[in-house]
Structure 1
Amino acid sequence: MIIGVPKEIMRGEKRVAAIPETVKKMVESGATVLFEKGAGVGSHYWDEAYEEAGAQTIADVEELFSKAEVILKVKEPQFNHEKNKHELDMMHEGQYLITFIHPASPANHQMVKHMAERGIIGLTLDGVPRISRAQSMDALSSMSACAGYKGMIMGINDISKFAPFVTSAVGRLKPATVFVIGTGVAGLRALATAKGLGAMVYSADIRPEANSNAESLGAIIVDTGVPAEIAVSADGKHANQLPEKWLEIERDHLKETIAKADIVFCSALIQGKVAPVLLTEELVESMNPGSVIVDISIDQGGNCAITTPGAVETKHDVIIQGIKNIPGMLSTSSTIMFSKNIHNLLTYLTKDNEIALDLSDEIVASILVTKDSKIVHEGALEAMGLK
């Protein structure tokens, strides 16, 4: 098996899909690893370390894409301005792509369709199910922890006030008010970070268990108004995609806390689906001037209706952060975690030094996006109106 690891070309992305440690393991298992020169520099890994681990370093990424049978990436395929062509157009039929594709996100629909047209077999890391045997492959959870920590630091940095309660010679200054919406892995890490910095923290989630976890970290829980039987899947593991009438009820319950928050941290996701819109433009307008929205759910469409993907903009005197690669700003830690997750998944999928997809397997069924020149991902098909 020939595995290719290209350099990430998304603006500001410093992560890489393999570290020397995982390259060595892949080579020892019988694979050939092609590594684009300089791909690890952003995470402080040099080409010499990859060569010592057994990788073949390649200067021309087009050659890497041409020769590899499997491509390991961090972010979804992008347009390569140096080559003046899209990364997908450098790939070939029957080639495997393992990365974060976020196929349900409207911003990625055309890319997913193009992937199918090219005959590329796409496997998305955001589809790895939250089950015990898949924990070591769950890059979404790993990256969510990074995004929760760094995203909250970014939010704190952008507000123009102290985070903690401060006593001074001229009187007391109240702590910043932080509202975390969605307390999964990212939300809990964000919550703990804000709490550790002394902010007053509120949180909301439609899942009772998530609220219990947030409360144990010191958050004040805001009721969403959504009954558990509507909010949570039958197995109790995941949040359901809510009909619009329940989203309206949830927004109504959240609006008072949103209006008084200095930071609204948006991390509510539905696995494999488009993220629920919980902040309308009207709710953004209700916020105080200088307040901040950190919308880390933007890869799946965003929780705020007016977040611009990949940008930080001020709208209605509110700073709205839509950065798409926050874990890339924590590149050393996130690369270590990500590379081990993706290697564990690759190992799971490999039999006799080849990828063998068992379509009846829960993990495979959850991550498969395109196969046989067709889009097969349920969430993507729903979001595209094709199902």
Structure 2
Amino acid sequence: MKIAVLKEGAPGERRVAATPETVKKLRSLGAELAVESGAGIAASIPDQAYADAGATLGDRAATLAGAGIILGVQGPDPASLGGQAPGAWVVAGLNPFVERARVDAYAAAGLEALAMEFMPRITRAQSMDILSSQSNLSGYRAVIDAAAEYDRAMPMMMTAAGTVSAAKLFVMGVGVAGLQAIATARRLGAQVSATDVRSATKEQILSLGAKPIFVESVAGIEGEGTGGYATEMSDEYKAAQADLVSSHIAKQDIVITTALIPGRPAPRLITDAQIATMRPGSIIVDLAVEAGGNVEGAVAGETVERHGVRIIGNRNVPSRIATDSSAVFSRNLYNFLSAFWDKEANRPILPDGEEIGDAIRLTRDGKVVNQRLLGN
């Protein structure tokens, strides 16, 4: 089985789908690894490191020739995959709801597209979950980006000239990214508070030493919601949350929003009127900006200023910490492939009716087969 690792083609994408560590591990399963020249340069991995790990280096055509599995961070352009044998796998983050035309093109080419972001949130798939691994680093990076833009210190400082107050930082949405943002901000010495629609997150917020800010008058989501994600809330809850946020946000120096609903636009959490209540020099980081944004006026790929408040809308935040995000992403892919590796067939096999395979398989035998896409 030949596994091809491609150089990413999306603008600004610095990650890579395999590292020398995972190349060695995949070769130990019996696979042959081919890496496109320059694939790891942006993640600080030189070609020689892949060669030392046992991979062959070449241009895209040589890398793809005879490959039964193609690994990527983002889905490769189907037009660049000409000549692959029917049934060859494309394993990557495929953004199926947004890039549906690309998924259809994979089907037309006879490829079996496996969307790693559709990995079910079950115990045995945790080590394969690219959304969790990348969101973790996004939460960290969001705090670092906020601190870099903030014109004041994060921790409280006692000096001979007087006391510098700690920054007040508010996290909205306490999933993987939000929890890491809380932990990072606490380590930097900020005074941290957080909110979420899921009642179960209150204990998690407290465990990290932050203050939970929750709507008490209207019921939110008990437990974790479907698949660990939040779902759309009632209009009554949204109104109560808006009132609570309005009174709290005016006192904050930094706000980080992380709320996403899979397959739907990101919920609007902060309005322009609420931004206007914050003091000049405050910072907002919108981690959901590419899904429509949690913050009114946020612009994907830009830092904009409204009412003296800077709103950071960085695209592809995991790529801003490319070396570590590549390391964990590539381990997610290895963990998936190795879990289904059949030694006799010398390849991974995803049987029909298997929970993970049925969840992530988008195309097969020239057709789109994933129920989440067929229902849209």
Distance verdict in 2 for CA 1:208–1:243, change over 3 Å: closer
Question: Is residue 273–residue 379 contact of structure 1 (8 Å, CA) maintained in 2?
Answer: no
Matches for 1:68-107 after TM superposition, within 5 Å: 68-77=67-76, 87-92=77-82, 94-104=87-97, 106=98
TM-score, with structure 2 as normaliser: 0.86
1:315 CA displacement: 4.0
Is residue 364 of structure 1 aligned with residue 357 of structure 2? yes
2:275 pairs with 1:276 = no
Deviations 1:173-228 (A, max 9, x none): 33211111112222111111111212111100122222211111111111145524
What does the per-residue CA deviation read over 1:146-175, in whole Å, with 9 as the maximum and x for residues that have no partner? 111121111111111121223445543332
> Which residue number corresponds to residue 310 of structure 2?
319
**1:230-241 alignment to 2 at 5 Å?**
232-233=224-225, 237-241=228-232
Residue-by-residue CA offset, 1:242-286 (whole Å, 9 max, x unaligned): 355544443333222233322211122335654333223443344
CA distance in 1, matches of 2:75, 2:298: 19
| Equivalent residue, structure 1, for 2:31 | 31
Per the normalisation by structure 1, the TM-score is 0.84
Distance 1:229 1:48, change over 3 A: closer
> Is 1:61 matched up with 2:51?
no
How far does the alpha carbon of each residue in 1:303-347 deviate from its partner, in whole angstroms, 9 at most, with x for none?
Answer: 234433333333443322222332223233222222111111122
Aligned-residue offset at 1:68: 2.7
- Report matched runs for 1:125-204 at 5 Å: 125-204=116-195
Native 8 Å contact 1:127 1:271 kept in 2: no
CA distance in 2, matches of 1:293, 1:119: 44
Confirm whether residue 335 of structure 1 aligns to residue 326 of structure 2. Answer: yes
**Residue 82 of structure 1 corresponds to which residue in structure 2?**
none
Q: Deviations over 1:332-373 (max 9, x none)?
A: 322222211111112234432344333422222332334455
**Other structure's SS at 2:8 match:** coil
Pairwise CA distance, 1:34: 1.5
**Cα distance, 1:375 vs. partner?**
4.5
Aligned to 2:2: 2
Contact 2:194 / 2:205 at 8 angstroms: preserved in 1? Answer: yes
Percent identity (aligned): 36
Aligned 1:212-251 pairs, distance under 5 A? 212-224=203-215, 227-229=219-221, 232-233=224-225, 237-243=228-234, 246-251=237-242
8 A Cα contact 2:219 2:237, kept in partner: no
Structure 2 CA distance for aligned equivalents of residues 264 and 379 of structure 1: 33
- Superposition CA RMSD, Å: 2.9
> Per-residue deviation at 1:143?
1.6
Using the TM superposition, give the Cα deviation of residue 145 of structure 1 relative to its aligned residue in structure 2, in angstroms.
1.7
